[in-house]
Amino acid sequence: MVEIERKFLVISESFIGESFAQKRIVQAYLSSVPERTVRIRIKGDKGFITIKGKSNNSGTTRLEWEKEISLQEAESLLSICESGIIDKIRYEVKVGNHVFEVDVFSGENEGLIIAEIELQSEHEIFEKPLWLGKEVTNDERFYNSFLSKKPFKTW
């Protein structure tokens, strides 16, 4: 139930040709306080509820619990979420022994592209593709819960 991930800005859309899967994701928050975010997500034709705890000092590690729920439940719960919907296309790209999840945001966050990689430990070594830019792991502005309140277009 612990998530270890790092986030990076993406400097080129060349990853699209390297991706092996893509899905649209729509999500919003029942609670966006940093100590416990509660997210409702529709990914493709599936619904999910996710609870995340506060990140550690480096921003790489936090408690995460996720459960699949029905699409109908997710749609109902989205209707009572805090304002600020996140809408994005997620591309999955295999690089070396890892898979990067690259989110291309639309709507109020259009123009933002973020890549995330989940790791087994904070100091795990991984291959960095040429399209990977600056690391933003510990920059809360790039958390989806922040983007739902202060969209990228308003920066």
**Any idea which residues carry the catalytic annotation?**
29
Distance, first Cα to last Cα, the chain: 33
Helices marked H in 58-130: 71-78
What contacts 58, CB < 8 A, 6 or more positions away?
122, 137, 138
Q: How far is CA 98 from the centre of its chain?
A: 16
Residue 17: how many other CB atoms lie within 10 Å: 8
Environment class of residue 123 by beta-carbon count within 10 Å: exposed (0-12), middle (13-18) or buried (19+)? Answer: exposed
Residues 4 and 112: their CA atoms lie apart, in Å, by: 22
